[in-house]
Structure 1
Amino acid sequence: MKTYIALLRGINVSGHKKIKMADLRLLLEKEDFTNVKTYIQSGNIIFSSQEEDSTKLEHQLFTLIKENYDFEVPVLVKNAEQIKDILDKNPYKNKEDLASNKIYFVVLKEAPKIENSSILSSISFQNEQLVITPTCVYLRCALGAGKAKCTNNFIEKKLKVSATTRNYKTMLKLQEMALI
């Protein structure tokens, strides 16, 4: 049995695509997911499964949400080791930045093409820096995400891959919860 973290994109934002995490947790438990835990309302689910293929799990979760809530939600599933690896490779180590919500992780569904990464790398915004890897775009927003120009949607369009963004504190908490 393997531990996974599902990252749902775009739920419970400004009253759109509302999903109560407690209800979702119960739904997953009925579908034979085990050790189901959720973290905050932005769509973070930790669970265990016998399934080894994260793509199958993504599809299963996507279908469950579509059937039970009647809207589509992009789902990324990573195993606990992948989340740890993403955190370990974070190039932004400044403790003040980490503590003050200036570091973000744009978790990628798949590796972007090199030419798309090159295009994104060539664009710069004042007070924002990014590092692109095959699994994650590490983003430092000196003024916070609310004022950032380099948004999740922007990154998805430039890289031509699905992604969802979490801050450092959330990623750390997900890793911690996956280990419990």
Structure 2
Amino acid sequence: MTTYAALLRGVNVGGGRKLPMAGLRAVMEELGHTGVRTYLQSGQAVFTCAHGDEESLAAGLTEAIGGRFGLDVDVIVRDHGYLRAVVEACPFPAAGLEGRQLHVTYFSAPVDAARFAEVDQEVYLPEEFRLGDRALYLYAPDGLGRSRLAASLSRPRLNKGVIATTRNWNTVTKLAELTA
């Protein structure tokens, strides 16, 4: 059995796209997943599964959520090894930062530096970003809500062809812990 985290994009934030976590757990259990737990209300679930790969598990969950709740929700599924590697590869001094200052954007597929070449990081200092394995690390000292760099990085043309969903550092580390 492999333990995974499902990251749902854009649910239960800002008063829109309501998805009850109890309903999400029920849908996941109906799909045959075991040990299903949700974390917070903003679209994270941890589960175990003996079959499937990350992409097919995400697609199945997207389809099941659409069928049950009528919502078109993008889902990224990642296993514990990947989540732990993201934490370990953090290019910023995470231990010295508040969780609201450091974020990870998870991508559904690899992205290369050329995709973000038009973003002049000097303009946004002290905010910074670095790319990792299907992830982007964002240091935003005043938080995500005030980040000019985050707004620039979320432009549709920069994320074209991939699903992208962002979590603060507290959630990033907690998901790695919960999937262990």
The TM-score normalised by the length of structure 2 is 0.90
2:28 is aligned to: 28
Alpha-carbon RMSD: 1.9
Partners of 2:36 and 2:23 lie apart in 1 by 11
Partner of 2:164: 163
- Partner of 2:178 in structure 1? 177
Q: Which segment drifts farther, 117-126 or 166-175?
A: 117-126
Q: Secondary structure at the match of 1:23?
A: helix
- Residue of structure 1 in register with 2:75 after alignment: 75
The alpha-carbon distance between structure 1 residues 126 and 69, as it changes in their structure 2 partners (threshold 3 A), is: same
Instruction: Tell me the equivalent position of 2:144.
Output: 145
Q: CA deviation at 1:118?
A: 2.8
Kept after mapping to 2: 8 A contact 1:121/1:132: no
Take 2:40 and 2:107, find their aligned partners in 1: how far apart are those partners? 21
Task: Please give the residue correspondences for 1:3-18 in structure 2 after superposition, counting only pairs within 5 Å.
Answer: 3-18=3-18
CA distance in 2 between partners of 1:83 and 1:66 (Å): 26
- The aligned residue for residue 42 of structure 1 is 42
Deviation at 1:120, TM superposition (A): 3.9
AA aligned to 1:115 is A
Q: CA deviation at 1:171?
A: 1.0
1:133 partner amino acid: G
Which residue of structure 1 lines up, in the alignment, with residue 52 of structure 2?
Answer: 52
Go from structure 1 to structure 2 and tell me whether the alpha carbon gap of 1:78 and 1:59 turns closer, same or farther (over 3 Å shift).
same
Gaps of 5+ in 1: none
What is the Cα deviation at residue 75 of structure 1? 0.4
Return the offset for 1:114: 4.3
The percentage of aligned residue pairs carrying the same residue is 28
Counterpart AA for 1:103: L
Q: Which runs of 5+ in 2 are unaligned?
A: none
Change (3 A) 1:123 1:50: farther
Q: For residue 50 of structure 1, what is the amino acid of its counterpart?
A: A
Contact 2:8/2:165, CA 8 A, preserved across alignment: yes
Moved over 3 A (4+): 119-124
How many residue pairs match? The answer is 178
